[in-house]
Structure 1
Amino acid sequence: MKLIKINNCFLVLIALLFLHCTKPEDTFNYTPEETQLVTEVVLKTDKTKYAPGETVTFSSDKMLSGFTVRYKHLNNVIKEEPMSGKTWTWTAPATDFKGYMIEIYKANDNVETIAGTIAVDVSSDWAKFPRYGFLSEFGNVSDAQINANLDFLKDFHINAIQYYDWLNKHHAPLKMNGNVPATSWVDIANRSISFNTVKNYIDKGHDKNIASMFYNLLYGTWNDYATDGVSPEWLIYNNNSHTNVNKHPLPGWLSDIYVTNPGNTNWQNYIFDKTTLVYNNLNFDGWHLDQLGDRGTVYDYNGNTVQINQTFTPFLKNLKTKFPSKKMVLNAVNQYGQSNILSAGVDIAYTEVWDPNNTYKSLADIIKDNNSLSNNQVNTVLAAYMNYDKANSAGFFNTPGVLFTDAVIFAFGGSHLELGEHMLAKEYFPNNNLQMSGELKKRLQKYYDFMVAYENILREGGTFNSPVLNSGDGQLNLKNWPPVASTVSVIGKSLANKQILHLINFSNTSNLNWRDTNGEQTAPAVKKNFTLSLANSNTVSKVWYASPDLDGGASKELTFTQVGSNLIFKVPSMQYWGMIVVEY
């Protein structure tokens, strides 16, 4: 046994020397000096997602002579054609729920230059791979601004939008003048809302295959509830003698929010009728329901204790019966009531994340918890507000903080509610004190391209595991998830005939708190041409690598060698996040 161990170590050493001595251009199809996409062309699609067989229209800001358009699913090339103009079309494949990466490239002496990339999602239903955005301003917005806002979201492949505080009153969301909608109203913060603005957003969004979800609480009224036909018997109380209504105070606004009992069928019938008015007049695709978290010990009008989370399931099931063709989503505030929510047939798992869930590990735990509670039937969206305290005044989002948070969320199969008319930093969505820098916008688009192109690896099942991965040349200090300061975190997942290895580079970060409250997270140093050794006993057919920080997420096949029980390969470059796929 001792002799075999020595021989294996010797063979591993020879393999490492081979990988170190091999020229990069002989081993990898990439331009070695690049650690990010060389922006030669900016590519766009006309829609955010496509039905199987639908025509995809691409546009480029410039024409590149001698370059090729390559269409790939994961690392498999399905078509190539010369780049022959600044616009062209492609018929989406007939298979539903697949992600694709389109690459503009040129090869010289076995070295590829990637000049542009863009992803395409072919999915008939946005809820399979939700990429959720928001809107929060509904005054007299011009058609040009509506188009610009939707184009911005389309360029990030946002496929559904939450219409935050578009409503009139929570217990009467659409203001009516007799039998027709009012032309305008004010929301609870006394902001002007235009019916036509809401309608135009919905209609123009549908033209880009973007769904629209109207926001409303499942259990809220204003203080004038009685004049609108809401009975005090439907409310929730802080005592058992119905003299102290449970409410959410909003100082200086038009009303506090008075909490109703979601389990009360009279309340359900009332709010469902008001929702019918919404659907009859606005072509919303569904209801994004909100709640206010754990209300403590509360009572119904008759003095009975109410476990509010236990009312979520019957409310949602009755809602689905009432509106079977409409989507429904209920925010699990810090996971409150999530098991009740996910047992009721909601279309996505949505969690608004608050303390004490303030670490990168917490984000991953919530996503995995949602997977378990839903039997892997729905995917997760996290409302996780970045640079929270920094957003108390004007400035810019901190790029490293945002990219690290999205790398963790995306690697574990979730998506991040963060993009609307502006980027999101507060639970009050109209707050727009912080702006995206040009660098953040450019880099974040590549992260969303990455999430779309590799959605069938990132968001379609699999089992997380703990691979034995070592740094063959000592460049990386590797530790399996959860993160440890000054290390590169390894996230393993087995999926069909693949072993997935995500590397997230926390090697010189300032902290491991995802919110990056004051915008102080630091950027990681780029790691180049590093050798890895994976404990492996299977016959490997292919090893490939992709990173949103390298060549726009274009996949690159890697040379590998199997020595004893070790699979050895070299990775070209990693900054924040890289993904290795070992195929058997």
Structure 2
Amino acid sequence: MKKKYVLPLIFIGVFILLIIPARFLWSEQESFEPPNEKSPIKHDVNVVSLQKDKARYKPGSDISFQAFLSDKPEHAIDMKVEFFHLGEKIHEKIIQVSEKNFKWKWTPPKEDFQGYLVKVSPLHNQDSFQSIAVDVSSSWGKFPRYGFLSSFSKMEKRKQSSIINKLNRYHINGIQFYDWLDEYHIPLKTKEDSPLQSWNNIANQHVEFKTVKTYIDLAHQKNMNAMSYNLINATLADAKNDGVKPEWYLYRDEQQENIDTHNLPDNWKSNIYLTNPANGAWQNYIFNNQKTAFKHLPFDGWHIDQLGNRGKVYDYGGKRIQLPNTYKSFIQNAKRSFQEKDLVMNAVNQYGQEQIAQSSVPFLYTELWDPTRTYTGLENVIKENNSFSKGEKNTVIAGYMNNKKSDGNGKFNTPGILFTDALLFAQGGAHIELGEHMLSKDYFPHHTLNMGDELTESLKHYYDFMVAYENLLRDGLQEAPLTVSTSNWVRLSDRPEKGKVYAFAKKDDGKKVIHLINYFDARHMNWRDEKGTQQEPSMKRDLTLYINEPKEVQNVWVASPDWNKGLPMKLEFKQEDGEVQVNVPKIKYWDMLVFEY
């Protein structure tokens, strides 16, 4: 070969080597946009917030994003978008932007039930970024993130859309329509086969059919499941006029003189009169009336509530009824009647949960009351539910935060909320707490406390974290033994303990996940933080850990909802004689350390 051809060929080869790897960062459907080479940026343009169009995506579907910037760029600038799955960056792209907000789409990998995290930053200033999570799941029941709605009076669609959009930012994928119904035994009344257009619910709140229907439609646009609330065995005072028979009721005595009754305030529609859930005629009656509601309102399922332990109760024949033993068969028969509908049932303080877990419910739901007061008690409920379901079903906790503080007006106490959510999420649970407002009482419309800007933003990161790392938090990892020590600023504990960092581990074949929850500055260990007195922890730095680990570790990384906006950070480590030494750079509430083998 002549020498005059050598240099051009070398140049072409180098050019190809530089271009091809970068080109493979884009999918075939996307256009390659080279970095902008225009004049320098005169002032910083920051990413303020990110949005996506749905709470959950089916495998193979496109995801639409939108980013909002602090200012309109003076000229076109390059934005870098990076996509992460667990600790690995799997994709990135450059987008040229000249407006204050911009949109793009991404088609994720085809695997079902996967969580991702997306980072967006200016190419010239990648330390200024925002992140948002993505859940790719064909159904909501594996990784439930439950929210609620509790007000259905006449409402502008714009206001309803705003509420659903807010819940979408927290990736809420199921909504409990609390007390939307007319009467428990006839959820939706009709006239000449047409639904009534308005009614008063049990609390004599006004309800509009149109409002309920619009909320369901808006939820479906975001891939959120709409769940119709109703009790398993409730009637109102006038039920005999609607065909309810004395033989169907529960009684407080063997002589059937006193129907089991749950008293309500005088200004409500009625007290509640309880039936026997095992009675076949009652089941047929309530199932048919529930079908009528489903016919006119496209709910995705039934959120079945109960009133907990009723003490000694009897059927019409004087036989003692053990209510928990009626729940599984009720759910099974309901599933036969509504084969396409999801069924979820509340276990009040775990009452009947063992039986519920054996039914077709996709996840377990526990409403917690005293005596479950401590963080240890809280996590034990999730562990018990894992045992009941043999590790196959996740848990949603209904736990009402700052409940005594909410007797007055004010703001939720951010540290109390974050400590509880950190423990719940780390143990694989979820917390029904977000709706039109945040829950503080078991009567969902109660609203005296506001979230405040700090809590609003912090919870976005917590829910992003729960979604992005759902395959480590909620996807069947098993408890693992952990021997860990430190010589730094704190003592470690194998349980939630005031003044210490709680450390526990879970594992699968390829990873060990170590959770660190920092109770060093905690004022108390009451998960409900009833009076809103829990103390904010200071950000602690440099926690050097010595961890027994017989397997050879290939990579170590850390992530936290409290810093770095949830993004994974690789860590240097040493492994000698079955021990890993690694320095966690900082911790506030909760860090997650991951060993990859």
**TM-score > 0.5, shorter chain as reference:** yes
**Aligned with residue 565 of structure 1, among 578, 586, 591:** 578
Which string of whole-angstrom CA distances, capped at 9 and with x for unpartnered residues, describes residues 183-241 of structure 1? Answer: 00000111100001000000111011111000000100001110000001100000011
Provide the C-alpha distance between the structure 1 equivalents of 2:485 and 2:128, rounded to a whole number of angstroms: 30
8 A Cα contact 1:103 1:114, kept in partner: no
2:530 partner letter: T
1:42 corresponding residue in structure 2: 49
1:508 corresponding residue in structure 2: 521
1:237 corresponding residue in structure 2: 251
Match status 1:544 vs 2:551? no
Q: What secondary structure is seen at the aligned counterpart in 1 of 2:397?
A: strand
Larger radius of gyration: 2
2:271 partner letter: D
Q: What secondary structure is seen at the aligned counterpart in 2 of 1:543?
A: strand
1:374 corresponding residue in structure 2: 389
Superposition pairs for residues 322-361 of structure 1, below 5 Å?
322-361=337-376
2:525 partner letter: L
2:404 corresponding residue in structure 1: 389
8 A Cα contact 1:114 1:551, kept in partner: no
2:168 corresponding residue in structure 1: 154
Structure 1 position 561, deviation (Å): 1.1
Higher RCO, Cα 8 Å, sep 6+:
1
1:54 corresponding residue in structure 2: 61
Provide the C-alpha distance between the structure 2 equivalents of 1:399 and 1:251, rounded to a whole number of angstroms: 32
Match status 1:411 vs 2:418? no
Structure 1 position 316, deviation (Å): 0.7
Superposition pairs for residues 382-531 of structure 1, below 5 Å?
382-471=397-486, 473-480=487-494, 482-531=495-544
Structure 1 position 177, deviation (Å): 1.6
Structure 1 position 372, deviation (Å): 1.1
8 A Cα contact 1:239 1:299, kept in partner: yes
1:174 corresponding residue in structure 2: 188
8 A Cα contact 2:80 2:123, kept in partner: no
Structure 1 position 529, deviation (Å): 2.6
Provide the C-alpha distance between the structure 1 equivalents of 2:280 and 2:345, rounded to a whole number of angstroms: 18
1:76 partner letter: E
1:60 partner letter: A
**Aligned with residue 222 of structure 2, among 208, 220, 232:** 208
1:578 corresponding residue in structure 2: 591
Structure 1 position 476, deviation (Å): 2.7
8 A Cα contact 2:55 2:172, kept in partner: yes
Match status 1:69 vs 2:84? no
Structure 1 position 180, deviation (Å): 0.5
**Aligned with residue 301 of structure 2, among 282, 286, 296:** 286
1:484 partner letter: E
Superposition pairs for residues 261-340 of structure 1, below 5 Å?
261-340=276-355
2:106 corresponding residue in structure 1: 90
Q: Which runs of 5+ in 1 are unaligned?
A: 1-37
Matched positions, count: 543
Provide the C-alpha distance between the structure 2 equivalents of 1:529 and 1:409, rounded to a whole number of angstroms: 25
8 A Cα contact 1:401 1:521, kept in partner: yes
Q: What secondary structure is seen at the aligned counterpart in 2 of 1:528?
A: strand
Provide the C-alpha distance between the structure 1 equivalents of 2:273 and 2:451, rounded to a whole number of angstroms: 36
Structure 1 position 496, deviation (Å): 2.2
Provide the C-alpha distance between the structure 2 equivalents of 1:341 and 1:486, rounded to a whole number of angstroms: 37
1:30 corresponding residue in structure 2: none
1:3 corresponding residue in structure 2: none
1:113 corresponding residue in structure 2: 127
1:78 corresponding residue in structure 2: 90
- TM-score, length of structure 2 as denominator length: 0.89
Provide the C-alpha distance between the structure 2 equivalents of 1:470 and 1:338, rounded to a whole number of angstroms: 37
Which string of whole-angstrom CA distances, capped at 9 and with x for unpartnered residues, describes residues 19-72 of structure 1? Answer: xxxxxxxxxxxxxxxxxxx98431111111101111111111117844421101
Which string of whole-angstrom CA distances, capped at 9 and with x for unpartnered residues, describes residues 367-419 of structure 1? Answer: 11111111222111000100010111111000000000000000000000000
Provide the C-alpha distance between the structure 2 equivalents of 1:101 and 1:307, rounded to a whole number of angstroms: 47
Provide the C-alpha distance between the structure 1 equivalents of 2:553 and 2:480, rounded to a whole number of angstroms: 18
C-alpha change, 1:75 and 1:114, in structure 2 (3 Å) is farther
Which stretch has the larger CA shift, 363-372 or 264-273?
363-372
2:464 partner letter: D
Provide the C-alpha distance between the structure 2 equivalents of 1:205 and 1:496, rounded to a whole number of angstroms: 37
- TM-score, length of structure 1 as denominator length: 0.91
Q: What secondary structure is seen at the aligned counterpart in 1 of 2:110?
A: coil
Q: What secondary structure is seen at the aligned counterpart in 2 of 1:378?
A: coil
Provide the C-alpha distance between the structure 2 equivalents of 1:286 and 1:181, rounded to a whole number of angstroms: 19
Structure 1 position 465, deviation (Å): 2.6
Provide the C-alpha distance between the structure 2 equivalents of 1:84 and 1:369, rounded to a whole number of angstroms: 51
Structure 1 position 106, deviation (Å): 6.3
1:138 corresponding residue in structure 2: 152
Provide the C-alpha distance between the structure 1 equivalents of 2:258 and 2:95, rounded to a whole number of angstroms: 69
Structure 1 position 114, deviation (Å): 5.1
Q: What secondary structure is seen at the aligned counterpart in 1 of 2:328?
A: helix
Q: What secondary structure is seen at the aligned counterpart in 1 of 2:293?
A: helix
Provide the C-alpha distance between the structure 1 equivalents of 2:56 and 2:321, rounded to a whole number of angstroms: 42
1:468 partner letter: T
1:4 corresponding residue in structure 2: none
Provide the C-alpha distance between the structure 1 equivalents of 2:362 and 2:235, rounded to a whole number of angstroms: 25
8 A Cα contact 2:47 2:67, kept in partner: no
Which stretch has the larger CA shift, 491-500 or 285-294?
491-500
Provide the C-alpha distance between the structure 2 equivalents of 1:194 and 1:240, rounded to a whole number of angstroms: 42
Provide the C-alpha distance between the structure 1 equivalents of 2:558 and 2:46, rounded to a whole number of angstroms: 20
